[in-house]
Structure 1
């Protein structure tokens, strides 16, 4: 009898806790999927029935009449914004209410990553954004362009050798492996001043560490959501997202490089140099940089937050954190964009040939040379890249945290009361859902660069396209990322024909085994030397 009473008490306590934990949205008329105990709306992702993009798409599509819906990451509530006018208010007009990202990594307990621009909050973020903003202008990108070109030449040389050694006139490769190695070598050069050839030297340490820091396997995915959902428990258990070996490697590399350059008075126009200038307070916006030509349709502009002059001393931890962020963000997101670009070119030969014609025309007009300005002026190349970033956005969803209570208005036209989002509740921006919404992009699953032509791009509604985020907290490195993707595409198509092979994933379907964007069975394409 006593055991029965205790069982009833425990069940009643569990039911009451469940109702309380998952009542925020239902009691205010905010719609969403029914949460499961503890898992919230994450159950299908955890057991690998859905990819995270499937979850975002399903949530976005299931409530077409709603301005916003609710979801739970385990026990944590999050408001998903569907209405683009409301997005404009949250990310721009009323930005100060949603200034920060969620604190996944604490700056005090893990300064190595927590002090990076992405995770900094409040005034710390504003100061760091203003400090780093001059490092990512077009004028700085022009100086790094030769380093990117050199990596592309190195890549083509290695590919030609592999094709010749194959003896059949072509080689089948997993393009994700190719693009991660390319992105790795670009960042090694542009950020750390290192010359690395990851295609030839497959197991070099820099590539191994970069891949370990950038690839989210299932274990890291659970840790990531654990850090977001139960940060105190994760802190007690001393669980960290990144291994100590990775942290030690990058810290010694960055600080050692800085020390060596100081001692030998070495100046190289890369990210390490810019961070050293920032520490000295010498990194400033110059008048010319504000007048540089745009880097393409997807480019985001710096807000007034990033254009202020800041006189603040930054620590070694601050500088290391920014360099590592630049590496991790560039390694995965840029390689993802390039991988899906190559996949779509293989599946759409008419797009590939039109792009090759533009490249050849550019070669003819510039006597076989290309530079930052000429590649940015290639209209069709920009259309292709813009469409890849729409159909396959490297960042599936964005987040903000409410820093002071805010009235989101009514969830739908039939609602009787406004919904007040409280401080510390998260807001999600469903990039994947918006980019594949037929209201904004007709026939959204079709790869169609013509959406971004001069005749059509004015039809794209503001705040429906956001591959590099929205508002002052957008991606600071959009110019660098676009430049890197375009240069690789240009150089590869100069020398290679891309086509499908027997192992190409057709139709395209994402693997549920990882949080990253991966096709089932890999990203296989066939490369042949272009005549």
Structure 2
């Protein structure tokens, strides 16, 4: 009888707790969806009935009159902010209220992820941002372009050989595999100073380990949500995102490379060299020259937060964490963007032809010279990449965490009370929904680079185009990512003609088995060598 009483009491307490949790928004006049016990609004995603990107878009579109709506990631309440003026306040004007990202990985359990720039919080994040921002200026990226070009040349040679060996004049390739290998080799060169040819040596250690570290499959993404929803439980269980062999591989790679360069006085303009300068306190901010050409329309500028001088010593593990973050961001997000770009070029022959003509014009104008300044002067290439990042932004949604209570105002014009965001509540920024809102981008599902022409781009409303985030906490590597995408597109189109094949998915359907944006069945296109 005693056991029965306690069981009933615990069940009743759980029911009351869940009821109070899942009515948090509705009790305060905020529209919300209909969460299920424990799983919240994540049922369709966890059951693989809906891709996370489609869920974000659906929730964004469900209440068009609301400035913000409530959603639940399991038992974790979040506000999904729809109003762009409100986004400006949260990410810029009142930034200090929303300084941090949500807790994902505990730094004591997994310092390789918990100590990187994305995960750091408060003053530590500000210091690290200021420390690293000089590494991602135009002058630094310019020096890395030859490394990207070298990787592209390896890719073209390998593709031409495969076409020749096919005996039919073409090959059908899964672009996600192609772009992942390209991105892997670029990061290996630009970050770690390694020459890796993943197109020829398909099973090399760096590619294999990198793919394991950066491919966030369904199970890993559920871990992310578990870290956000049940951080104390995950900390007690000491759950880590990376396996021990992955941690050892990258820590050993960074430290041994640094030691070797120090011992042999090797200087190479890459990320390892930059981190060595950070360790010595030699990396300093530069004044932006009027001659500097930016990386494109999508580039985000550094805020005053990232331009402050910092005199702080960082531990070796902190530097390893930044190198790993650079790798993961460059490996997965950039390769995803490039794979969708190649798909759109293949299924839009008019776009491909105009882009090819611009490439040929650049070749003739510059005598085959291909560098940072020449590629950034290619107007149509920038239009194509800008539209790609609107329609297929790898950042499906962004997040912030409220670090001190904040009056966010009324959810709609008819509401009677303001809503107070309490310390610890998460804020979601629905990039996927905003980028596909017909009020901001007419006929939003169409791939239309003309949106970003000189005649049209001034019509884009501020805070509606956010592929690299908003405010001081935007993506520090936007210039690098844009250059990498453009270099690959340039070299591939210069030598190859792209077209759909029998396995090309038209229209695109997202693969629901992963949280990454991937096409169901693969990103298949046909490649022919241009005559």
**TM-score, normalised with respect to structure 2:** 0.98
The count of aligned residue pairs is 531
Q: Distance in 2 between matches of 1:287 and 1:16?
A: 58
Retained in 1: the 8 A contact 2:106–2:235? no
Q: In 2, are the aligned partners of 1:32 and 1:59 still within 8 Å (CA)?
A: no
Residue 418 (structure 1) aligned with residue 410 (structure 2) = no
User: For residue 63 of structure 2, what is the aligned residue in structure 1?
Assistant: 63
Deviations 1:345-364 (A, max 9, x none): 01100000000010011111
Which residue of structure 2 lines up, in the alignment, with residue 327 of structure 1?
A: 327
RMSD: 1.3
Does 2:460 match 1:460? yes
Q: Does residue 518 of structure 2 align to residue 518 of structure 1?
A: yes
* Pairwise CA distance, 1:8: 5.5
Q: What are the Cα deviations for residues 206-244 of structure 1, in whole angstroms up to 9, with x where unaligned?
A: 001111111111211221111111111112222111111
The corresponding residue for 1:272 is: 272
- Deviation for aligned residue 1:24: 1.4
CA displacement, residues 174-194 of structure 1 (integer Å, 9 cap, x when unaligned): 000000000000000000000
2:125 maps to what in 1?
A: 125
1:105 shift after superposition = 1.1
Q: Residues 137-167 of structure 1, C-alpha deviation per residue, up to 9 Å, x if partnerless?
A: 0000111110000000000000000000000
Seen in structure 2, the aligned counterparts of structure 1 residues 9 and 376 have a Cα distance that, compared at 3 Å, is same
In the aligned structure 2, how far is the partner of 1:215 from the partner of 1:289?
A: 38
More moved, 260-269 vs 110-119:
110-119
Write the mapping of 1:6-405 to structure 2, written as runs, cut at 5 A. 9=9, 11-288=11-288, 292-405=292-405
Aligned to 1:69, what secondary structure does the other structure show?
A: strand
Deviations 1:241-282 (A, max 9, x none): 111111110000000000000000000000000010011111
Q: Deviations over 1:423-453 (max 9, x none)?
A: 1101000000000000000000000000000
How far apart are the structure 2 equivalents of 1:529 and 1:295? Answer: 29
| 1:279-330 C-alpha deviation (Å, 9 max, x unpaired) | 1111011224586221111000000011111111111011000000000011
SS of alignment partner, residue 287 of structure 1: coil
2 CA distance for matches of 1:399 and 1:5? Answer: 42
How far residue 7 of structure 1 moved from its aligned partner, in angstroms, is: 6.9
- Residue 476 of structure 1 pairs with residue 476 of structure 2: yes
Q: Secondary structure at the match of 1:197?
A: coil
Q: Where do 5+ consecutive residues of structure 1 fail to align?
A: none
Which has the larger displacement, 279-288 or 240-249? 279-288
Structure 2 equivalent of residue 504 of structure 1? 504
Instruction: Tell whether the 8 Å contact from 1:138 to 1:289 is kept in structure 2 after alignment.
Output: no
- C-alpha distance in structure 1 between counterparts of 2:64 and 2:365, whole Å: 49
Q: Distance in 2 between matches of 1:185 and 1:129?
A: 26
The 8 Å contact of residues 41 and 74 in structure 1, kept in 2 or not, is answered as yes
CA distance in 2, matches of 1:266, 1:397: 41
Question: What is the Cα deviation at residue 3 of structure 1?
Answer: 8.7
Deviating more after overlay: 1-10 vs 153-162:
1-10
What TM-score, normalized to structure 1?
0.98
CA distance change for structure 1 residues 230 and 367 in 2, over 3 Å: closer, same or farther? same
